[in-house]
Every structure is written in structure tokens, then in C-alpha cells.
Amino acid sequence: MLALAAAAALSPLTPARAYGERPEPRPEPMSGDEVVRNGHRFFGSIARDLAQGVEQMARRWGRPNAYVLGQEGSGAFVGGLRYGEGVMYTRNAGQRRVYWQGPSLGFDAGANGDRTMMLVYNLPSVDAIFTRFGGVAGSAYLVGGLGFTELTADGVVIAPIRAGVGARLGLNLGYLKFTPEATWNPF
């Protein structure tokens, strides 16, 4: 099972393009103020911590060219699963409903439910979101918590910012698989 999860995490999916189909435009970068303003409305009272996290991401990665607002639930006891749904926003390529799911493995136990904002950097086209993004995540929730993670695939960086409730503590290795339709299959 571990070998299967590792192989799946290391083999990203690439979206297929039909012959003669016109490529979608590359989403334009968004200003830090725009991301913070929308995150402020989305997260509410934890906006100050969110703003500090967005500033840190901006120093490291520049300006995102998309972001996702949604909610997710996850649970783990050594191995874990995460499921979420939301809307991806871009400046010039519109909005798109997205779903994500993925397994994790590590020293991790507990469960949490979160409102999630994902900053997306270097997205070459809207459909490029539909792949697996791997990374390392840590969680420390006791009633509530706020977390930042970075996931990468093919030069695209996704930085989930999570705020929610639950009881969870741990460190894990895993991936998120983005899909255009909801699915229970995390692999």
C-alpha cells in the first residue's frame, strides 16, 4: 500500500488536450492587496494571521496568478485522507469549481475541518490545476488552528492556508489530487 501511494505521488497526471483545441490563456498575476482583501472576507477574524502568511508567501514566490477558496475535511491515524471542494479564481480566465483529495502518511493523528485558501503560483493554464501536488504538511490543532503548506508539481506551487477546528497533531508526507468532478478515490 505504501509503495502504491509513493508511486502515485511521484507520477503526476497531465491533462490531455484534444487535437486542434485552442490553448487557454495563462492567468494573469493578482496583487497582494487583492488576495488579502478576498482572504479577509473569506476567513473573518483570523485575517491578521492570514495577512502575515500571504506576505511571507509573496516574499518567497511573488504574486499568485490564481487562488482557490473552499472547505475541506481530513483525518489521520498514521495514514490519513483529505477531501475538499472550492472555486478557483483567476483574473482573466474566469472561475472554475475544483475538488481535491489525497492520502498522507506519517506521524499524524486526529481530525479537522477547515476553510481553505490556496494561493496558486506559476499556473500556465487553468486546466494545469488538475494534477497531483506533493509536499510535507504539519498540523497542530487543539480545538482550532491555522496552517500553511506548500505543494508543488511541474513548476506550479500551491500554498494552502487552512483555518479550522479539530484536534490533530502530526507531520506527514502526501499529495493533493485536483479534479473537475467530486470523487471518493484519493489516489
What is the full per-residue pLDDT of the chain (187 aa) written as tens digits? 434 344 444 444 444 455 566 777 888 887 777 777 776 666 665 666 667 777 888 888 888 999 999 999 999 999 999 999 999 999 888 899 999 999 999 998 999 999 999 999 999 999 999 999 999 888 877 777 777 788 999 999 999 988 888 888 888 999 999 999 999 988 8
C-alpha cell at 137: 504538511
Number of domains within the chain: 1
**Rounded Cα gap, residues 35 and 67, in angstroms:** 8
- Note the pLDDT of residue 47: 63
DSSP annotation of 51: H
Decide if 87 is inside a domain: yes
Nearest to 9 by CA among 153, 137, 141: 153
- Note the pLDDT of residue 40: 65
- Domain region containing 38: 32-179
- Note the pLDDT of residue 5: 41
pTM of the model: 0.73
Decide if 61 is inside a domain: yes
- Note the pLDDT of residue 37: 75
Decide if 186 is inside a domain: no
Decide if 175 is inside a domain: yes
**Rounded Cα gap, residues 27 and 153, in angstroms:** 17
Q: Cell numbers 482572504 label which residue? A: 39
Nearest to 108 by CA among 136, 77, 82: 77
Decide if 19 is inside a domain: no
- Note the pLDDT of residue 170: 87
CB 161 within 8 A of CB 39: yes
Q: Give SS3 for 172.
A: strand
